[in-house]
Chain A
Amino acid sequence: MKKELIEILKDEQYSLSFSISDELNIVGKTGCSLSQVEDTALGQGIVPLRYQRNLGAISIDEQRRLLNSRVSVIGCGGLGGFVIEELARLGIGEISAWDYDYFQEHNLNRQLMAEYRLIGHSKIEAVSRRVRRINPGIKFIGMYREFDEKETGESLKREQVVVDALDSVQARLELSRACRHLGIPMVHGAVNTWYGQVSTQFPGEDVIEQIYAGKEKYRLEEKSVLVFAASLVASLQVAEVLKIILNRGNLLRQKIMLVDMLSMDMEIIDMPKNDD
């Protein structure tokens, strides 16, 4: 099958332009999946057109690595919607997303996937549809449920990176424990009003506990979040995910980046491990 694919990719000289309709033609001819076609093409140095403008920032090999990677996003609200959109556009091959909730009218101010006509509809369904429309080459798995360390933690074990787009302290601490147990890096983001924070925690590290431990019962009184706070923090999270997968650049490990969009400043605070 792979040989046949390589032959087709050679014969038709797709190296100048390899569009989604070319890809779908090959899928039709060979019965291969879109991701198989793309993986083989990238292996031959042929870049699908929709990834062309990723190149330069990343290499063809790195684009292929993204195609073969798996990322899970926990929560599809303000942060999660933007995170998933960006992961899909980057070309992360497999994205799973968790949320049990339905769109409400007060989500419209900041949640990318929220639309007036989708009020009362499942967030996961909206996200799934959006991902298909942006990038049909991606495998999307929607989990219609709340994240819970005991019941569902194990189902993250195949993930390469987990994104914390949750809105409760308790759930974040549970996710942190699950990721540590499974040996998976976790990219944390949180927002309130004009402010946000981002951090990356690898197994064996403890930033999430340093920030939130002992505060499980905390409930946000101020539920206000402005859309640019959500989209900025989500983008910073996605940049961390990309660098983890590609093993490049600098990560916010044992650090927290605080962003203040009212004063327009950003600060990175060192959070050395507690036992250091």
Chain B
Amino acid sequence: MILTVKLFANLRQGRFKVRDMDFSEGTTVQQVMEYLSISKKEMAIGIIFINGKRANFDSVLEDNDTLAIFPPVAGG
């Protein structure tokens, strides 16, 4: 299945901004993150959206989904 993966802020460094990627059926958000070498720690307070709706590490993706991953921003 084809997913559109969008990354934000420092997650783009060494990766990409937006890319269509092929994954097998039933892939979870966490598996995509592992594939992209994004650690759970790196995403400690990040936010995940699938097609504009809030999701979590265990959410299962479907064909043509857009997955957007935002890292934590908390300084002042």
Task: Please indicate the chain B residues that have their CB under 8 angstroms from the CB of A274 in the complex.
Answer: 54
> Are A167's CB and B75's CB within 8 A?
yes
Do A218 and B45 touch (CB < 8 A)? yes
**1/0 per residue B52-76: CB within 8 Å of A?**
1010000000000000101011111
B10 at the interface (CB under 8 A from A): yes
Query: B13, B52, B75: which contacts A225 (Cβ < 8 A)?
Result: B75
B74 partner residues in chain A, CB cutoff 8 A: 167-169, 172, 190, 192, 212, 218, 220
Inside 8 A of A166's CB, which chain B residues have their CB?
Answer: 76
Q: Does B19 touch A at the CB level, under 8 Å?
A: no
Interface size, chain A (Cβ < 8 Å): 39
**A134 interfacial by beta-carbon distance below 8 Å:** no
CA distance A210 to B12 in the complex (A): 23
With A218-B45, A258-B9 known as contacts, the answer to whether A190 contacts B73 (CB < 8 A) is yes
Within A204-238, the residues touching B (CB, 8 Å) are 210-212, 215, 218, 220, 222-223, 225
- The answer to whether B75 and A190 touch across the interface, beta carbons within 8 angstroms, is yes
CA distance A258 to B7 in the complex (A): 12
Do the beta carbons of B8 and A260 come within 8 Å of each other? yes
B-to-A contact residues, CB < 8 Å = 8-10, 12-13, 17, 44-45, 47, 49, 52, 54, 68, 70, 72-76
17 contacts between A and B (CB under 8 A): A79-B76, A80-B76, A166-B76, A167-B76, A190-B73, A190-B75, A192-B9, A192-B73, A192-B75, A193-B9, A210-B47, A211-B45, A222-B10, A258-B8, A258-B73, A260-B12, A263-B12
Q: Which residues of A are in contact with B by a Cβ distance under 8 Å?
A: 75, 77-80, 164-169, 172, 189-197, 210-212, 215, 218, 220, 222-223, 225, 258, 260, 262-263, 265, 267, 269-270, 274
**Known contacts A191-B76, A260-B12, A263-B12; 11 further A-B pairs (Cβ under 8 A):** A78-B75, A80-B76, A168-B74, A194-B9, A196-B73, A197-B73, A212-B74, A218-B74, A260-B8, A265-B17, A274-B54
